[in-house]
Chains A and B, each alone.
Chain A
Amino acid sequence: MTAVGTPARETRLPGAAPLLVLASALVMAALVLLPLLVVFGDAFAKGVPKYLAAIADPDAVSAVKLTLLVAAIAVPLNAVFGVAAAWCIAKFDFRGKGALLTLIDLPFSMSPVVSGLVWVLLFGAQGWFGDWLIEHDVKIIFATTGLVLATILVTFPFVARELIPLMQDQGSDEEAAALTLGASGFTTFVRITLPNIRWALLYGVLLCNARAMGEFGAVSVVSGHIRGLTTTLPLHVEVLYNDYDFVGAFAAASLLASLGLVTLVLKTGLEWRHSGELSANRRH
C-alpha cells in the first residue's frame, strides 16, 4: 500500500516502540495469521495421502473447473466494462457523471447475499421472468448462468474503480497529441492509453479475479448446491464442512487460501514496483 518504503520519522518515545510493535504483531498473529495457519494445518491433519485424495475427488475437481469457468467469463466482461466506463468518465465531461460513479460503486455497499437475491427475484421460479424461462426451458437460477451473473455483480466495480482515478489524473493530452498527428482512435487507444494503464488494469483484474473465485455469499444464494454441478470451490468447502468432512473442507479451502496468498504476493509486488502507475485511493 501507500505505507511501504521507509517510515517518515522515528518517534520521540523510545520506550514505547518495542511494546507497540509487539502488541501489533500479537494482534495480527492471533487475529489474522492464525486462521491462515489453521487452514493448512487442518487440511494436512490426517496426512498427505488423505489431503491428495480430497483434492483429487471428482466433486472437488468439477468444483475447481466450475470456479475457473465462472471467473473466465465474469472477469473479462468486468474488465471490458471497466475500461469503457473509465474511458467515458475520465476523458469526457458530461452531465450525470456523479450519478454514474455512485451507481458503479453501489455493488460494493451491498451484502453479497443481496447480490445473489436480486437474480432470484428476476429469474427464480417465482421471479419476474420465471414463467417465461420455465416455458422456454431455460435455467438460470441453480445453473451456471446464475453463478456467473451473481459473480459479475459482486465484482462489478473492481476494474472500473481502479482505472477511473488513474485515467482522470493522466488527462488526455497524450491521446490528443496522437490524434492530432493522424493516429486513428483505435491506434491511439492501443498504443497510448493501454500502455499507460496496463499496471492498474492488471491490478484491478487481479483483485477482481480473486474475489470472483472466492465469492461465497452471492453464489450460495443462486447455486442450489447441486454437488458436482453447481458447486464452485467455496461452495464445495461449505458442503463438505456441513457434512463433517473436515479434511476435505480444509483441503479445498487450502486451494482457495493459496489463491489468496498468490494474489496478495502479486498485489504487493505491483504496489512496490509500480506504485506511481496505480491509483492512490484503493480500499478493497
Chain B
Amino acid sequence: MTAAAIPAAPVRARRPWVVHSILPGFGLSLGITLAYLGAIVVLPLIALALRPWELGLSGVWHELASPRVAKAFRLSFGLSALAALVNAPLGLLIAWTLTRYRFVGRRVLDALVDLPFALPTAVAGIALTAIYAPTGPLGRVAAQFGIKTAYSPLGIFIALVFIGLPFVVRALQPVLQDLDAEVEEAATTLGANAFQRAFRVILPALAPALVSGVSLAFARAVGEYGSVVFIAGNLPGKTEIAPLLIVIKLEQYDYAGAAAVGLAMVAVSFGSLVAINALQLRLAKRGRA
C-alpha cells in the first residue's frame, strides 16, 4: 500500500463544501434556489443598498436628519414599540385564557387570533378607520370624552396593536401549553401565593417567548403600511409614518431619498432583530439555570 499516493492532508484540512449524499438533485435544487434568490431578493437589495449614496454621505445624513424624516421615524418607532409593549399583557391574557381554561367558543376564539394575519391590510385599514372615525361606533364614544382616535397618533397606535397581537399570542401559546405543572405545584407547596407564582415562576419561563413575540410585533409594526395609512391622517410631522415617506418621495421621483429612508428602515429592523435574538438567548439561558 502506498498511502503517500493519496495525500490525506487536503481531506483533513477543510470540511468539504458539500457532504456527499446518495440523494440526487443537489445541483439542480441549489441552482434554482440561488438563481431565484439572486433575482428576487439579492439584486433588488443591492440596488437599495447602493442607490442612496449618490447623494454622498452628507447628503444621506441630511436626508435622514431632515425634520420631516426624523419626526416620521420617531413616530413610527415610538408607536411601534408602545404598541408591541401593550400587546405583551394583552397577548399574555389571551394566550393564558386559551391554554388554561375550557369554555364554550374557545376554538373559535383561538382561530380568531389569526384574523389580523388573514385580513388584507387595506381591508383592516378602512375598517379600523370606519370604527374610530368621529362618526364611527367607537370613535363617537371617544369623541364624547374629547379624545380624538382616528387621524391622530392614537389611531395609528390602535392599528399597530391590532396588527401585532397575533405575534405575541402565538409565541406564548406553545410555551404555556408545555409549562410543567409540577413546577407550579412545587411553588404552591412551598408556600408561594398566586402573585409569587405568576411573577417568580411562570413569567421567567415565558420571558424568551414573550420577547420573541413582542419583537416580531414590533418589527411588523415598523414597516406596516396598509392598516395604518387610512387611519393615520398623514399630516406631515404629526401623523406621517416612515413607510409613507418612501411613497411620497417616489411620487416626487426622489429615488435616492426614498432609498435612503428604505435602507435606514431595513438596517434598523434587521439590527433590532439581531439584538433581540441575543437578548432572547440570554433569557433562555437564565430561564434554564
Contacts and interface: CB of A to CB of B under 8 A. Distances in A.
Interface of A: 1-4, 6-13, 17, 20-21, 23-25, 27-28, 30-36, 38-39, 42, 77, 80-81, 84-85, 87-89, 91-95, 100, 103-104, 106-107, 109-114, 117-122, 124-128, 149, 152-153, 156, 172, 175-176, 179-180, 185, 188-189, 210, 213-217, 220-221, 234-235, 237-238, 241, 246, 249-250, 253, 256-257, 259-261, 263-265, 267-268, 280, 282-284
Contacts of A112: 121, 223, 225-226, 243
Nearest to A25: B109
Contact of A179 (B23, B97, B117): B23
Contacts of A33: 112, 115
A111 B222 contact: yes
B230 interface: yes
A254 to B, nearest CB: 8
18 contacts: A8-B177, A24-B109, A27-B93, A35-B131, A35-B162, A77-B36, A88-B25, A92-B18, A94-B18, A103-B37, A113-B246, A114-B48, A114-B223, A238-B122, A257-B123, A264-B118, A265-B111, A267-B114
* Secondary structure of the B contact surface, majority rule: helix
Contact of B18 (A2, A95, A216): A95
Interface in B120-145: 120-128, 130-131, 136-138
Report which residue of B33, B109, B111, B112 has the largest number of chain A beta carbons within 10 angstroms of its beta carbon. B33
Contact of B131 (A2, A38, A95, A217): A38
Contacts of A261: 118
A127 B226 contact: no
A147 B238 CA distance: 31
B229 to A, nearest CB: 8
Contacts of A109: 219, 223, 266, 269-270, 273
Contacts of A32: 112-113, 115-116, 162, 165
- 4 closest cross-chain pairs (CB), A and B: A111-B223, A214-B120, A118-B44, A185-B24
Contact of A253 (B103, B122, B136, B177): B122
B1 interface: no
A95 B194 contact: no
B94 interface: yes
Contacts of A111: 222-225, 242-243, 246, 262, 265-266, 269
B253 A125 contact: yes
B121 A217 contact: yes
Given A100-B33, A234-B123, A113 B247 contact: yes
B11 to A, nearest CB: 16
Contact of A81 (B18, B36, B105): B36
Interface stretch (B2-10, B63-71, B148-156, B168-176): B168-176
Interface in B184-233: 188, 194, 216, 219, 222-226, 230
Nearest to B246: A113
Contacts of A91: 21, 23, 26
B111 A118 contact: no
A72 to B, nearest CB: 17
Contacts of B43: 122
Given A121-B48, A217-B121, A92 B26 contact: yes
Interface of B: 15, 17-19, 21-26, 28-30, 32-33, 36-37, 40-45, 47-48, 51, 90, 93-103, 105, 107, 109-128, 130-131, 136-138, 161-162, 165, 167, 170-171, 173-174, 176-177, 179, 181, 188, 194, 216, 219, 222-226, 230, 242-244, 246-247, 250, 253, 255, 258-259, 262, 265-266, 269-270, 273
A128 B103 CA distance: 58
A22 to B, nearest CB: 9
Contacts of B94: 24, 27-28
B211 to A, nearest CB: 14
Contacts of B161: 31
Contact of A117 (B138, B188, B246): B246
Contacts of A128: 47
B19 A11 contact: no
A36 B90 contact: no
B21 A1 contact: no
Given A1-B174, A117-B48, 5 more contacts: A2-B174, A11-B100, A27-B94, A110-B269, A217-B226
Nearest to B216: A283
Contacts of A100: 33, 37
B159 to A, nearest CB: 10
B213 to A, nearest CB: 9
A182 B125 CA distance: 56
A279 to B, nearest CB: 12
Given A3-B174, A13-B194, A117-B258, A253 B126 contact: yes
